[in-house]
């Protein structure tokens, strides 16, 4: 009962953190949005802002939830501590302070984490693998769908969070001194939900069945994770088709070829050079899509406002950033080394 009361009290604090789009309050949610909100509180413990920011595009919201739920929240063969280590390492690589705060809080609680050092050797190895392409996988083929899936969803969420949330999980204007208390409460809620043991696959019916793309074949040996990623990838591809100009999609895909995830530098000259290839009406979408994909921490209000001048509704903004984020996450996931047995299975 106490946990439920805390969840209810945090609902407003979650939605008020969303920026750039109009958040959908818990009491105003309908249909699949309402269902995802209920499942979030049940399985994640709290109405998590990184998920609910997607609510203006209900199908994309469901896609984000399916991917996150199946790899991070459903108990599997990979320890939760390894997954939190992966989340923290990926978030650091993407300069996502909100996600770093959340996941290093969980990591500290689970295995100890201080001054950037993870006490547990196996969790430390998982973080090293996720933080740099080419590091050998410190896990088994059976654990591959969970750990690669965790890295991919974090590559996706980091980009969305950098655009639509602030630096820390606090409402605007709240004092930083409140962060320690908020972190303890959130960790308590998340661990309480984990003890309930979310069951695999129970949310898959939010989205229609789809074929698993070749670049997601690492998920093939886990039916629930494969189902979540296949359905979510199909939905977000459709979101890209409805809101991202074809030339912009082609430009993003071309820009990802050969990119290993390393920062491109502080200057944004590369963006202007790239969008110069586009027709003038497509340049705002191209600029925002490229920044989201390759340097989400550099997305500023000007880039968003320029895109809004061509596509003013919230759904289009979620569609474009989600498509660009997942396209990049899938690319970076394909660069991670996995056990050879897992590669053969896929």
3-state secondary structure 27-82: HHCCHHHHHHHHHHHHHHCCCCHHHHCCCCCHHHHHHHHHHHHHHHHCCCCCCHHH
Encoded tokens for 259: 């990119």
Q: CA torsion, points 118, 121, 122, 128, in degrees to nearest 10?
A: 60
d(CA 104, CA 44): 16
Q: By residue range, what is the domain housing residue 240? A: 1-346
Residues 129, 134, 136: CA angle, nearest 5 degrees: 55
- What's the pLDDT at 320? 98
Encoded tokens for 44: 């994640």
- What's the pLDDT at 196? 79
- What's the pLDDT at 236? 98
**Total count of domains within the chain:** 1
CB atoms within 10 A of CB 192: 15
- What's the pLDDT at 117? 80
DSSP conformational letter for 219: G
How high is the mean pLDDT in each 10-residue block of the chain (346 residues)?
74 93 96 98 94 98 98 95 95 93 85 77 94 89 98 98 93 83 83 84 98 98 98 98 98 95 86 95 98 96 97 97 98 93 44
- What's the pLDDT at 346? 35
- 61 to 106, 108, 184, 206, 313: CA distances (angstroms): 24, 29, 27, 10, 16
How far is C-alpha 263 from the chain's CA centre? 19
Q: Report the b/e string of 154-173 with b at 16+ CB within 10 A.
A: bbbbbbbbbbbbbebbbeee
Let me know if 37 is exposed, middle or buried by CB neighbors in 10 A (0-12, 13-18, 19+). buried
d(CA 27, CA 346): 42
DSSP conformational letter for 282: G
pTM of the model: 0.94
Residue pair 202/38 in contact (Cβ under 8 Å)? The answer is: no
Name the CA radius of gyration of the chain, rounded: 19
């Amino acid at each position: 009962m106490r946990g439920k009361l805390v969840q209810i009290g945090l609902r407003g604090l979650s939605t008020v953190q969303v920026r750039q789009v109009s958040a959908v309050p818990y009491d105003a949610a309908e249909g699949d949005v309402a269902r995802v909100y209920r499942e979030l509180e049940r399985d994640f413990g709290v109405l998590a802002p990184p998920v609910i920011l997607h609510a203006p595009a209900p199908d994309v919201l469901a896609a984000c939830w399916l991917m996150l739920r199946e790899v991070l929240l459903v108990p599997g063969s990979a320890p939760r501590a390894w997954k939190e280590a992966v989340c923290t390492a990926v978030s650091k690589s993407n300069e996502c302070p909100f996600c770093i705060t959340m996941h290093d809080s969980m990591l500290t609680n689970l295995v100890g984490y201080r001054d950037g050092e993870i006490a547990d050797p196996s969790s430390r190895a998982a973080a090293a693998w996720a933080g740099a392409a080419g590091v050998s996988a410190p896990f088994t083929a059976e654990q591959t769908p969970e750990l690669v899936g965790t890295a991919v969803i974090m590559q996706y969420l980091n980009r969305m969070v950098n655009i639509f949330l602030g630096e820390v999980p606090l409402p605007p204007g709240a004092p930083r001194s409140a962060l320690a208390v908020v972190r303890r409460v959130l960790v308590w809620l998340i661990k309480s939900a984990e003890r309930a043991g979310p069951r695999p696959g129970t949310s898959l019916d939010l989205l229609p069945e789809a074929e698993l793309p070749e670049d997601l074949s690492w998920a093939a040996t886990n039916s629930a994770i494969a189902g979540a990623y296949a359905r979510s990838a199909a939905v977000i591809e459709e979101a890209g088709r409805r809101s991202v100009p074809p030339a912009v999609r082609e430009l993003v895909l071309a820009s990802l070829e050969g990119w290993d995830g390393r920062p491109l530098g502080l200057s944004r000259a590369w963006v202007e050079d790239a969008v110069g290839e586009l027709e003038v009406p497509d340049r705002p979408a191209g600029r925002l899509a490229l920044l989201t994909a390759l340097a989400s921490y550099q997305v500023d209000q000007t880039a968003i406002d320029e895109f809004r001048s061509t596509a003013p509704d919230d759904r289009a903004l979620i569609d474009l950033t989600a498509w660009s984020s997942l396209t990049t996450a899938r690319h970076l996931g394909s660069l991670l080394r996995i056990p050879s047995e897992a590669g053969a299975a896929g």
